[in-house]
Structure 1
Amino acid sequence: MSDWVSIALRFGVYLDLMLLFGVALFGLYSFKGPERVSDAVLPFRSIVAGTAVLGVLVSGASMVMMASAMSGELNLAQLRPHIEMMLVEMDVGRAWVVRIVVLVFAGLAMMLNQRAPGFSLLVAAIAGGIALGSLAWNGHGAMDEGSRRFWHFTTDILHLLAAGAWLGALVAFAWMARRDMLQAEESIKLLARTVTRFESVGALIVVAITVTGVVNYLFIVGPKFDVLLPSTYGKLLIIKVMLFAGMLMLAARNRFHLGPLLERSFREGKYRVAASALRRSVLVELSTAFFIVGLVAWLGTLSPEMGIASS
């Protein structure tokens, strides 16, 4: 049971911080001026402040769970010295402290959204990126040493940031493509513009995820496949790669078919069908992304060697 609670907490932390960073970043590169004010297009204040608060709560629960697993203690009072030791003496604890601090900054930044929307989103995106990057200290890279540790952490952080940027964009598109939003011509025009603007950003994200994913695999497993395949870790990794390939196909369909179709349909005045098709595609892609984040949370609790040994 404790393993599944740990996986659920990891899933919650990953999903929460990816949304915080990705949505704030999306507001910076997709919108301009008054569009960045909360509720003008997206509810930035609810999403960013909400994920910041939730991130603190889930991170706190995750720290308690981690301390309990390491010490074997279940009583919260008895766990306190173990938690204090982790926060002061261990890298994962210090990364946790940094995460909590920047999450507070991200939440407070939304208080400035009405007066300085661009600045508030910039602070939230930077804080969210730092918080998301701190999760690398909970991953396999923490077991490395020296220069290998540095490069493993670097690729881990880049992988997390790219994944967060993609997930945040999908959530933003899903919100903008809601049925009630598709009734207004200006909303569909804005959706078409942001889809077009996302083309270059999306291509960069895909390259970053692919390259860092391959490098991370080599860091964790090495250039071998035959001994990995029978393990639980290997099976989950294969499912993750297949789902990612499916997301790439959906993204390509959005980029080369549905996006241009929406632009053409808008010029012809018959845009609701194309917008609905784009909405359905984005929702499928978003659902797949959620499932991948769940697999990432599960994979983070497994060791390839242990999985092989137990298979």
Structure 2
Amino acid sequence: MVNKTFERVSIPLGAGLVACLSGCSKLDVLDPKGSVGMAEKSLISTATMAMLIVVVPVIVMILVFAWRYRASNRNATYAPRWAHSTAIETVVWTVPTLIILFLGILTWNTTHELDPYRPIESAVKPIKVEVVALDWKWLFIYPELGVASVNQLAFPVGTPVDFKITSDSVMNSFFIPQLGSQIYAMAGMQTQLHLIADHAGDYAGISANYSGKGFSDMKFRALAVTPAQFDAWVEKVKASPRRLDMNAYNSVAQPSEKEPVRYFASVDSKLFNNIIAKYNNGNVLDLQNSNCRTKG
């Protein structure tokens, strides 16, 4: 079982590696467009600066000592029996201890504030999206609107998005770098994530966990648009001739690579729960409280 708190603080290294491997021209995680992403960028910056308080002086002292005590410098003090300095011991133990304490408190507070299961406070009603990781594509279901899409996610700017996430394949990781955070998608289990976009834009979405040969193209677009544009997008989806029931879903779930965007004008209201429940003898496992509930 994945510790949901750890998923927030694992972002700096994981996001950097994923961005580099995917050929991004810049680290999108350092160009956030939502409040969650901004808070994570602040955490990364603060932690990096705190660690540089030790790293930079150590690098400087290595160079200074190497130069000062080189073999050709006869003016340097030669003290072969030197063994202890209280002042040096105090500095080398006190400074790192204070930094570790500072980072520990910072990480503790931030990981609780950025708990992916914690709803975003807003006067705007959240929009609910159910996410299914497949081989090698993403399925987005809008249970309140009765529509679905493949490899394209849309939501109004300034509106919290409440995600419920699962996988109908191997473990994946759902990640929109510029909006912040990533959380795992696991077969037979349901995780949650809350995000918000403060700026309109077309943002890259990726899988941040290797899942086989089609992994490199398991990407989607997250469209943060105005309410009017979102309504137009919904009408566009509803105009699709496709319907997503369990039989159609079985076809969609077949492994495929570089899957184009597809829309479904209607969707089985129990589809998401049925996907999870088929791994759990008819039960839905929610990692928030680690309990099973009977499929409705």
Q: Which has the larger helix fraction?
A: 1
Common fold by TM > 0.5: no
Which protein has greater RCO, CA pairs closer than 8 Å, 6+ apart? 1
Greater C-alpha Rg? 2
User: Normalized against structure 2, the TM-score is what?
Assistant: 0.26
Q: Which has the larger strand fraction?
A: 2
User: Normalized against structure 1, the TM-score is what?
Assistant: 0.25
